[in-house]
Structures are given as structure tokens and as C-alpha cells.
Amino acid sequence: MLDAFSRAVVNADSKTACIGGDELQSLKNFISEGNKRLDAVNSIASNSSCIVSDAVAGMICENQGLIQAGGNCYPNRRMAACLRDGEIILRYITYAVLSGDASVLEDRCLNGLKETYTALGVPLQSTGRAVGIMKASSLAHINNTNSEEYGGKRFRKMEMKDGDCSAITSEAASYFDRVISALS
């Protein structure tokens, strides 16, 4: 498992080079923008059960066969497994956002997941849809653009300093995209 710093070391070592130039600049940036990263992690982690349950509910709304006999969220045992998997995936995404590197997500969560799902009959496309909804809602939380229209009664806006969060948002988006592509 790597983070932004150990990744720079591994890259430099593979070239038997010192760390310098662009790599140092990007680590400087990692530090100076670090509070945005921590806020991003906090805004996902503090809303994770809402993000997960909303995504799984949305996935089921669009495909009600999932909760009928023969569907992969039927009976309750499978529904529970599905919600748990949503939490697992989101948790590993927060680790990746925190460390600034996808390796923890790849190695500990995605490695072999597609094969496991295929063996168990867990539908990959539906999982991808649930992850896609988690992505939309997590990015809204990072940017503090979630609105009552989507949040309904559970709408919640976190205290956060305004600023440009485009870089951390697109980085977080890339981790969700990795999950979706690993399952397709």
C-alpha cells in the first residue's frame, strides 16, 4: 500500500534518481492543499451511511427485480450484504482520498472483487450503478453543493470554508471510476 509520498519514493527509486523537480512540487502541493483533502475525507465519512443507503435504494428503485425472489438483494441476508459492500467500497475510497493514492483501494478491495461477484452472481452492472450514485452524492458533499432537492428530509450541509475544490473533487471522482471500471 502506497501514499503520495511513498509513491514518489518508489517512482524515483525505479529510475535510481533523487526526488526533485515536479515530484517535489506536487508533494508541496499535497501538503499545502492538505486541509481540503481532510475536509473531503470528513465530508464523505461523516455522511457515509446516508450515501450508501441512498445509492442502494436508488439502484433498487431503478431495478426492482433486485428485491424480488431471484434478485440478488433478496432475501434480507443479501440486502444486508449489499449494503455492507457499499460501505466497504466507500470506506476504501476514503482511504485512497486520504492517502492520495489508489493502491489501498486496488490491493485490499478491488483485487479479485469482479471474480468474487461473478462467482456469487452479484450483478456487476447494478453494483456499478450504486457506485455511480455514491460518486454523485460524495462529490456533492465534497463541494458542499448537496441541496434539499436531493437530500430531502435528511438534507445536511456541513460547515466548510469556501474554496476551489476542483482538484480534490476530480481526484476523488477518479477513485469511484476505478471501482466502476474494475467491475465492468
Ligand X SMILES: CCC1=C(C)/C(=C/C2=NC(=C\c3[nH]c(/C=C4\NC(=O)[C@H](C)[C@H]4CC)c(C)c3CCC(=O)O)/C(CCC(=O)O)=C2C)NC1=O
In the complex, the residues that contact ligand X under the rule CB under 6 A are 56, 66, 72-73, 78, 81-82, 85-86, 88, 108-109, 113, 116, 120, 122-123, 126-127, 130
- Closest CB to ligand X among residues 62, 148: 62
Apex CA 168: angle with CA 165 and CA 169, to 5°? 75
- Closest CB to ligand X among residues 122, 168: 122
Determine phi and psi for 165, rounding to 5 degrees: -110, 20
| In the complex, least distance from residue 122 CB atom to ligand X, rounded to whole angstroms | 4
| In the complex, least distance from residue 173 CB atom to ligand X, rounded to whole angstroms | 19
Kindly compute the dihedral angle of the four CA atoms of residues 149, 150, 153, 155, in this order, to the nearest 10 degrees. -100
| In the complex, least distance from residue 156 CB atom to ligand X, rounded to whole angstroms | 23
Kindly compute the dihedral angle of the four CA atoms of residues 173, 174, 177, 178, in this order, to the nearest 10 degrees. -140
Spatial distance between the Cα atoms of 113 and 127, rounded to a whole number of angstroms? 11
| In the complex, least distance from residue 141 CB atom to ligand X, rounded to whole angstroms | 19
3-state DSSP assignment of residue 74: coil
